Each structure stands twice: as structure tokens, then as C-alpha cells.
């Protein structure tokens, strides 16, 4: 961690007793690897980018939610109109008698599952609370801290109600079509996905859905799925002993040579070179 950029409480919280604040990113630009002496929730509203969390790459877009602990290191790269909000908080300053551990993964050593998704309904509710929280956290009256913490409690409970694992296709049955598509894509890393079959099943226009997807994410459906698979391949190459051909199969590429060509085009090195470099860096 030598030379690691550390974001400090004193630069982001107006008062030593302030427990919660909001840091907007409109848009979020490329941001070097860093850690903090506070925690944060990250909610992505639109656009796309590469979020690298503890050396694991995540291709992020509308509806992605992350729980970041103080000790985690992360960075943003390859961003395209990426709009997100960071709710930053200091666990030791929270005074409200709420079971925080049940609603914030990784808090106080609890089980940590950093990456979740939120559907349209949950996003709309969370945005309302975040707007109120942002306004309240900037006030300087005697009750600002208490009001901010109450809103933060409402937010984490709301996120608990609406969040779902990225590979849980059943979780979005009542959600909007774009949410369903994003979830199905996240669950299609190692199996074929055909958009016209998806549209036929849901009785929707393929052309309209393609336009809506690109408007919200800044990417085509095929490009987004390819990026998800490449991110998964990077993780497998670094953290497993799978052969490159096995990694290709796990990431939806039946031909390992084609996988190597796509990986090289997207990342700039071959899978073997990337595995070697990533392990040396670690």
C-alpha cells in the first residue's frame, strides 16, 4: 500500500461529528486507485465505466450498487458519461439504534458481498432519499446530523429491500424490461444470449429496446455483454489456475483463439500476458 492515495475524513466531512455526506459524480471521471478512512455506498445512475475493486474489474452501468469498506482499494477507468453518487459515512459516528450490520454488507467484519443491482422501482425510491440526504447533510443547524442519519437509515433499508444479486434472474420479474435485460446479461457470462429470442419472449420491439439500452448505458447490448465477459475472464486469469481454453469456455467463448483475439483487442495484451502481469503486480 506504499504510496496509496488515501481520501481523508477531514476533506469530505464538514464537521468532526458528521456521520454521513453525499459526494456527487456528474460525471465520474477516471479516478486513480485509492482507499479511504471512511466507508461509502456507490449507486450508478447512467453511462458506463470500469470499476476496479480490490483488483477485480467490474463493468458498471445503470442500477449497479457497491458497498465499499474503508480498507478497500478501488479506481475508475474507461468511463463514458458515467453518472453516480457516493454516500460516504463513518460507522463509528452513527448513533441511531439500528441493526446496521443487517443492512450494510461488510460492516464490522460481517459477510461482505460488494456488488448488487437495483431495479427501476428501487432506484426511484433511493434517488428521492438521496436527494433529501444531500440537502440535509449540507445544513449546519443543530439537528442536521440527526436528520442525515435518519435519512441514511431509510436509504440502507430501502436498498436492502430492493437489491438483488447480479445473477438472480427471478428478482426482476416485476421490474422494467431494461432491468430484466441487464440482469439476464449478467447471468449469461458462460452461455449464449440472443436478443431477438429475449424480445420475442417478452413481447417487445428489439429496435426500441436496443435504443433504450444504448441511451441508458452508452453501449450496445453486444458490447456490454462482451465487456462483462472480458471482466470475468480477467478475474479468472488472475485468481484461478484454469487453462486459457477453460477460461474462454467459462466466459462464453467456444473458440479459445477467438477469445484471445477479443481479449487482446479489448485489453491490449493477450490473456497469457495479462495473467503474468497481474500476478507480478500483485
Q: Is the pLDDT of residue 16 over 70?
A: yes
pLDDT beyond 50 at 224: yes
The maximal CA–CA distance of the chain, rounded, in angstroms, is 64
Domain 167-282 has CATH 1.10.10.60: yes
Which pLDDT score is estimated for 278? Answer: 83
Report field, pTM of the whole predicted structure over 0.75: yes
Q: What is the pLDDT of residue 2?
A: 46
In this prediction, residues 54-83 reach a mean pLDDT of 92
- Mean pLDDT to the nearest integer, 56-73: 94
Candidates 188, 26, 27, 204; CA nearest to 212 is: 204
Q: What is the pLDDT of residue 23?
A: 83
**Average pLDDT, integer, range 217-224:** 93
Q: How confident is the model at residue 111 (pLDDT cuts 50, 70, 90)?
A: very high
Nearest to 266 by CA among 281, 253, 279, 254: 253
Q: Which CATH class is domain 5-164?
A: mainly beta
CA dist 97 and 67 (Å) reads 21
**Which residues make beta-bridge pairs with 31?**
76
Q: Supply the mean pLDDT for the chain.
A: 90
Grid coordinates belonging to 241: 489456475
Q: C-alpha cell of 208?
A: 426500441
Is the model's pLDDT at 7 over the cut of 90? Answer: no
| pLDDT score of 175 | 63
- Ranges of CATH 2.60.120.280 domains, the chain: 5-164
* Residues ≥6 apart with Cβ < 8 Å to 21: 12, 13, 14, 87, 88, 89, 137, 148
pLDDT at residue 108 is higher than 60: yes
pLDDT per position as a tens digit, 146-185: 999 999 999 999 999 999 887 665 555 546 888 889 989 9
Pairing outcome for strands 5-7 and 31-36: parallel
Q: How far apart are CA 262 and CA 5, in angstroms?
A: 33
pLDDT in tens, 184-209: 999 899 999 999 999 999 999 999 99
State the pLDDT at residue 25: 65
164 vs 232 pLDDT, higher one: 232
33: helix, strand or coil: strand
CB atoms within 10 A of CB 24: 12
Instruction: Give dist(CA 202, CA 108) in Å, integer.
Output: 42
User: Could you give the residue range(s) of every CATH 1.10.10.60 domain in the chain?
Assistant: 167-282
**Chain centroid to CA 86:** 11
The per-residue pLDDT for 32 is: 84
Q: CA 256, 270, 48 angle in degrees (round to 5)? A: 95
- Classify residue 265 as exposed, middle or buried by CB count within 10 Å of its CB (0-12, 13-18, 19+): exposed
Q: Is the pLDDT of residue 212 over 60?
A: yes
pLDDT at 5: 85
Lowest mean pLDDT among 30-34, 134-138, 261-265: 30-34
Question: Stretch 120-146: mean pLDDT, rounded?
Answer: 93
pLDDT at 169: 52
Amino acid at each position: 500500500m506504499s504510496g496509496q492515495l488515501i481520501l481523508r475524513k477531514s476533506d469530505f466531512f464538514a464537521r468532526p461529528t458528521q456521520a454521513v455526506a453525499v459526494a456527487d459524480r456528474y460525471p465520474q471521471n477516471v479516478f486513480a486507485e485509492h482507499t479511504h478512512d471512511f466507508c461509502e455506498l456507490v449507486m450508478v445512475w447512467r453511462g458506463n465505466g470500469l470499476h476496479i475493486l480490490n483488483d477485480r474489474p467490474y463493468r458498471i452501468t445503470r442500477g449497479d450498487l457497491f458497498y465499499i469498506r474503508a480498507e478497500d482499494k478501488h479506481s475508475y477507468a474507461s468511463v463514458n458519461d458515467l453518472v453516480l453518487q457516493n454516500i460516504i459515512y463513518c460507522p463509528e459516528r452513527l448513533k441511531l439504534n439500528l441493526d446496521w450490520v443487517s443492512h450494510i454488507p461488510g460492516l464490522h467484519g460481517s459477510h461482505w458481498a460488494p456488488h448488487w443491482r437495483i431495479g427501476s422501482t428501487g432506484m426511484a425510491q433511493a434517488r428521492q432519499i438521496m436527494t433529501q440526504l444531500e440537502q440535509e447533510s449540507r445544513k449546519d443547524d443543530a439537528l442536521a446530523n440527526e436528520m442525515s442519519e435518519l435519512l441514511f437509515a431509510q436509504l440502507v433499508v430501502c436498498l436492502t429491500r430492493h437489491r438483488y444479486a447480479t445473477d438472480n434472474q427471478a428478482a426482476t420479474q416485476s421490474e422494467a424490461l431494461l432491468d430484466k435485460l441487464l440482469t439476464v446479461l449478467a447471468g449469461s457470462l458462460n452461455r449464449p444470449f440472443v436478443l431477438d429470442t429475449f424480445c420475442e419472449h417478452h413481447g417487445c420491439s428489439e429496435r426500441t429496446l436496443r435504443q433504450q439500452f444504448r441511451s441508458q448505458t452508452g453501449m450496445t447490448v453486444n458490447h456490454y455483454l462482451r465487456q462483462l465477459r472480458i471482466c470475468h475472464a480477467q478475474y479468472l486469469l488472475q485468481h484461478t489456475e484454469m487453462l486459457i481454453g477453460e477460461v474462454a469456455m467459462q466466459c462464453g467463448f467456444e473458440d479459445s483463439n477467438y477469445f484471445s483475439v477479443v481479449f487482446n483487442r479489448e485489453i491490449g495484451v493477450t490473456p497469457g500476458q495479462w495473467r503474468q502481469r497481474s500476478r507480478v503486480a500483485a
